Amino acid sequence: MKSVTLWLIVGFAGQALFTMRFVIQWIQSERVRRSVIPEAFWYFSLAGGVTLLAYALHRKDPVFIVGQAAGVFIYLRNLYLITRHKRSLIIQPDDPQGKDGSQHGG
């Protein structure tokens, strides 16, 4: 396979991944009858953005590179915030001292 063909496949694959984020967002919004951004939106954004960034680097296109690199940072930040929020919701086992320092039991 020629290098040009491989990079065209990479470019189109990145674009397909990037497009899927909108399809997922649209389907989820229709399901709940309000506009929402599901977590999968950010994963497809990241996958598409990284793939398109690789393609932009191959093409040596500075405008495309800056745009995709900025997007990848934003997608990673959103995924970090989602993960941090999920961790804050995990119920921790009871601390014998309690959160307020009081003793449980008796």
- Give CA–CA dist 100/90, Å, rounded: 18
Percent of the chain with pLDDT strictly greater than 90: 73
The domain limits of the chain are: 3-89
pLDDT digits (tens, 9 = 90+) for 14-48: 999 989 999 999 999 999 999 999 999 999 999 99
The structure's pTM equals 0.75
- Give CA–CA dist 48/13, Å, rounded: 8
- Give CA–CA dist 42/21, Å, rounded: 7
